[in-house]
Structure 1
Amino acid sequence: MSKFKVAVALCCLFSSAVLASPKPGSSINTTYRTLESRGAVSTSRHASKVVSRAHELIGTPYRWGGMSVSQGFDCSGLLVYLFRSEAGIHIPRTTSLMLGSASKDVDRANLKSGDVVFFKHNGRQRLKHAGVYIGNNKFIHAPRTGKHVRIDSLSNKYWNKSYFAAKRFH
């Protein structure tokens, strides 16, 4: 990259930081929320913490009914644990109750890191599974007995066919 392009990039970065900085008398949190609502910030601090912790839990065993690192996790138990421990947000225990909650519905095209994605088994009627979206068309979840918390792609044939909805709890 030429010195000129580097200088232009740094100038743009500096200008963005100055424009995003809070006005005198305003709080940083208010400015952050304003930027976030305008789409200038792609994820909230809560979502970022949830996703970071989810990455740390990759490899934790699946356990039906599990809601802790020591017990292992089922899919909804993982989400309850992540949102409670990392964001102080209490979400319903089951995928059906999560989906039925008053939290914001999110179109698939508008997914943001930290959103919860829901699946029906092979597109059938019964809601079966959920995970936390981490960006780049990927999500982290606790798949099933004998497996471990892992990352999968929404582009995968199975997950693409089974995708049902998404919610934003952060």
Structure 2
Amino acid sequence: MKLKSLALAACLLIATTSPFAAPEDDTAAGGKRASELASLMQLGEQMKTSVGEKTNQMLGKAMTLLGVPYKRGGSTAETGFDCSGFVRHIYETSIGRLLPRRAEEQATVTDKIDRSELNPGDLVFFNTMRRTFSHVGIYLGDGKFIHAPSVGKAVRVDDLRTAYWTKRFTGARRVQETPSPDSPNR
């Protein structure tokens, strides 16, 4: 029941605060956005049944931050997030796992996995600034990930399968719940 309440709260928050909320005066855009919202709600239901409770809580927390503005160097919901600040914040506040500050460092301290092995909660990395690990997001499932994209935008969900993200995808990583003794992230 607790998980259903969390998912419902996240969906309600998404519906009222995210860029997916339908504008009052634009019915065509409203229909498209309503469809996007329905798709996100369906993804939330899939997440509930396919992942453990900790991961579900982490992803639920991430979804409540949809619409928070991008801020370079940002790491809080109050001031805004950049991509790695968003990932760090979600892992630290939801499961108590402190990740390094930069995307490249986050890739270094996590376990490399094949794209076909992606599970909700894994990290996805992209080359968006001529650096292999210059952007990071959190995989949600069904080809979707949540991230803080860039200046002028806000935390949102995107699809790995779009041409833009497919072309820039540089790897997937899994975060260990507790770092191994030889991990640089101790």
Deviations 1:128-169 (A, max 9, x none): 200000000000000001000000000110101100111111
Tell me what 2:105 maps to: 97
In the TM superposition, residue 44 of structure 1 has moved relative to its aligned partner by 3.3
Deviation at 1:117, TM superposition (A): 0.4
Q: Which residue of 1 aligns with 2:134?
A: 128
Look up the SS of the partner of 1:155 in the other structure. Answer: coil
Residue type matched to 1:99 in 2?
A
Amino acid at match of 2:116: A
With over 3 angstroms needed to count, the CA separation of the structure-2 counterparts of 1:82 and 1:66, relative to structure 1, is: same
The residue that corresponds to 2:126 in the other structure is: 119
Q: 2:95 is aligned with what amino acid?
A: A
Count of residues in correspondence between the two structures: 128
Cα 1:45–1:106 shift into 2, 3 Å: farther
Q: Which residue of 1 aligns with 2:67?
A: 59
- 1:112-138 CA deviation, whole Å, 9 max, x = no partner? 00001000128x544220000000000
* Alpha-carbon distance in 1 for matches of 2:161, 2:124: 13
RMSD: 1.6
Compute the TM-score of the two structures, normalised by the length of structure 2. 0.65
| Aligned partner (choices 64, 70, 91) of residue 83 of structure 1 | 91
Note the C-alpha offset of 1:53. 0.8
Q: Give the distance between the partners of 1:62 and 1:140, measured in 2 at CA.
A: 13
Q: TM-score, normalised by structure 1?
A: 0.71
Out of 137, 142, 146, the position equivalent to 1:140 is 146
Deviation at 1:50, TM superposition (A): 1.5
- Note the residue ranges of structure 2 that are not aligned, 5 or more in a row: 1-48, 178-186
CA shift for structure 1 position 45: 2.8
Distance 1:44 1:94 in 2: 27
Moved over 6 A (4+): none
Summarize deviations over 1:25-74 as a string: whole Å, max 9, x none. Answer: xxxxxxxxxxxxxxxx8433332122111111000000001100101000
Q: What letter is aligned with 2:77?
A: V
Greater relative contact order (Cα < 8 A, sep 6+)? 1
Identity of paired residues, percent? 37
Q: Are the counterparts in 1 of residues 132 and 170 from structure 2 also a CA contact under 8 Å?
A: no
* Superimposed CA distance per residue, residues 70-108 of structure 1 (whole angstroms, 9 cap, x where no aligned partner): 01000000000000000100111101101111x221210
| Match of residue 49 from structure 1 | 57
2:158, 2:91 → 1: CA distance?
20
